[in-house]
Amino acid sequence: MTVPAGAAPVRVRPLVIAAVGGGLVALSMPPWGWWPLAFVGIALFDAVAADEPARRRRALLGFVFAACWLYPAVAWMWFLTVPGYLVAAALFAGMHAAAAAVAPSGRWGVVGRPAAHTLAEVVRFLFPFGGVPLASLGISQAAGPLLGVARIGGVILLTWLVWQVGAALGRLVPIATAAWRDRRRPDERPSVALATLGAAVVVVIVSALAPSGRDADRRPLDVAAVQGGGEQGTRALDVPSAEVTERHLTATRSIEPDPALDLVVWPENAIDVDRLAFVDSAPYEAIRAEVDRLGVPFSIGLTIDSEYSARPVDDSFVNAQLIVEPGGAVTGWYEKVRIVPFGEYVPLRGLLEALGAPLENVASDATRGREPARLVVSRNDGPVTLGPMISWEVFFGDRARAAADADVLIN
């Protein structure tokens, strides 16, 4: 490589290591779910970032690492919006580039870097559009033994824990390797890295010993969850809503009446009612027949024109979950509070339309729902309270906390 006079050479090896680290973190995410790779990936990135004195180069390393983590992990966005996929992953990678640039170097970097990158994840949970917390480090641990940490500090504490353990390993492994190879005391003392690793262990122990909530004083809720199925990769605009509903009805008809059954749950968007109240629609009549056949309440996912909701808004719709009781009464209605940017509404719609952006997939904007996040279903030994979170809302801890006094959370 020819380097102009006065210019610093571009060191490729650290960039490759950062890219590999980001790829390993991506593989720790669903659908792969190889959770230990998150620690390995962060350790690789931290090892090269710690040895880079120039902030600009650390920023580049941070961007490469995060891009190789996020582009594969949110690749499904490509099917929704190609420009959104390209821009969103680049924006989030830029946040981690900034974190890498501002994080301290030297002995205390093993503390500062996890804190800075955790802060970048906090920003992702808040900005833009109220937060887009896709492929977060907490999600990487959904199938791992450390998930219980989220009970005491939410996804942010779990994010810090993963980053802190990875960063500590990124410092301790080279120190131990150098000491073993050279048979001498290493130049860098491992005390700070060991202390941070010890702090992470304490967090894990506390989370394991922390109270886990009240014990149920009644029998468990027996639920039949229905997923109608269909061809992967299709869009709502490509498939008639009646076909989607019929798939779920077909699956529901396979359920045999059972005295132990308490509730049947249908997912989000299983029904789309246009220009009618739900109780005046054909899907209602079909569902009522199944409710009466099984003799238990149904929790139904529904999109409907806003004019038939609790808070009518012209040219809008709501994404709701409702309860249909035996006999046909609709006794509960929850409307989604956290709606999806560019999925259920378009931020800056007027500006984007003026620029000619293709917005046909989101022809109208959803109306945000209101509290409470609570649905009540009947049962022989007394009513059961459900705390609903619809789809996207499960990424946000405040939606679960809004329903924290419910007997059961459903997503």
Q: 33-48 as b/e, with b when 16 or more CB fall inside 10 Å?
A: eebebbbbbbbbbbbb
C-alpha 252/C-alpha 122 separation (Å) is: 41
Number of other residues whose CB lies within 10 A of the CB of residue 55: 13
pLDDT at 289 over 50: yes
Q: Could you tell me which residues come within 8 angstroms of residue 253 by beta carbon, excluding any fewer than 6 positions away?
A: 290
pLDDT at 192 over 60: yes
Of 129-143, 344-358, 395-409, minimum mean pLDDT range? 344-358
Mean pLDDT value of segment 186-196: 78
C-alpha 174/C-alpha 168 separation (Å) is: 11
pLDDT at 35 over 50: yes
CA–CA–CA angle 401, 407, 409 (5° rounding): 55
pLDDT in tens, 53-84: 999 999 999 999 999 999 999 998 887 777 77
Side-chain-facing half-sphere of 121: CA atoms under 13 Å: 26
Q: Quote the crossing angle between the two packed helices 282-294 and 241-253, to the nearest 10°.
A: 10
C-alpha 96/C-alpha 103 separation (Å) is: 10
Instruction: State residue 1's pLDDT score.
Output: 46
Residues β-bridged to residue 188? none
pTM over 0.95: no
Mean pLDDT value of segment 212-229: 82
Of 40-54, 134-148, 302-316, minimum mean pLDDT range? 302-316
Instruction: State residue 188's pLDDT score.
Output: 63
pLDDT in tens, 260-273: 999 999 999 999 99
